[in-house]
Structure 1
């Protein structure tokens, strides 16, 4: 509740949430621009990336298309280093395309719903998120809803039904299963800093905590969010 109240007060608009126009793809784009300001290089769509290691087992570069970029540390998701992660579960996700807001939400164009595990008779919560054409993520008049939950059976349709039923009529519905992985390596020994797979939450709180943890492991410092980035923003 404390986090919710502080988030509501953070920006004008009365919502504790913010969402980038044109979708989450704008986040890495924003990173690329800010990285360039500080001399970083951003290479898109590089195929078959292989992490290289020296004789001591420490990451020393990444090879793609016959070219190797040398480095002292590698930061990546589990898919790049499958031998250094373990499977810890699965997540069920449904994506629905609709022509209306979620019923009983005051025609809201953005909605975050959390279904408590006790209410559903589950061991974990279920999450529903909806955004729309007003966020420039869908065609005019279209809404996109996401329903996700930690897998507790092998039947995603049945498990996600309580969340999907809240959506009302849908034009298209896509359901898929995603494996979740966590790193098993000692990053201080191999200089590989691996993130944890996305979980079922749709508010990214766990993802943010993972990023903050990685930052501390990589730098030995705590993230300072009080830094004035106005100068860098002026250059974007």
Structure 2
């Protein structure tokens, strides 16, 4: 899939290399450059470092995603923020490490083998996960206007393992017709259920068809459409993304909302799946999206 920025598509720039956290806060152009070639910090930044012993309104410890969002919002609100991290990288527990950092974290002083190539070619997520293209996190990124600093890639496909084989989760009407995951008559019944979910609006009783999804369980709702167990599993785990089967005995509203999110995310960038992924790893969210952009714009002091 093409690389893009949210909300508009754009060819990505080379991967940014953030300055060490002990480096004074610099303008965006310097933070995104190789620290070994960074020019001398501007006078304003040097004054910030000299003022380390003054008072701050807020001190934030750690550069995980939550901490970076918090410090960015506080600084935008006019508070003086000191943001500190004991590590020499951004992201906390959800960081993305290059090869040297990965080896140091798990193998001490051992060096990675030369045949693995350049350390900078790697961005290994400590907490690997995808983002829903229309999910809460993406909407937060857009709302805070940090998406201009981030490049994303649409994930090409979503797959399930069924009856000893791997199958692609259909992303288009044509793929749904050809998919072996359901028989012809089962597809017709499933289609009726999907139409109900797509049209459902919690605020509009006319779309409820007389069903109260706050009391009706998921199992009871699906039973009204006569779907077989394999389809029930597909809906619950491949579309609603439940981790277990407890949802079957819980109110159906949550499952319907999850399915609608899947559908909306799938349609947002018209890719092969509802998922997107930061081009240089999830560590880019706190590093480039919040620490770099917000610190540069609002000059709250960010140190190791």
TM-score for the superposition, normalised by structure 2:
0.21
TM-score for the superposition, normalised by structure 1:
0.25
Comparing both structures, which one devotes a greater share of its residues to strand? 1
Larger relative contact order (CA 8 Å, sep ≥ 6): 2
Task: Give the number of the structure whose alpha-carbon radius of gyration is greater.
Answer: 2
Comparing both structures, which one devotes a greater share of its residues to helix? 2
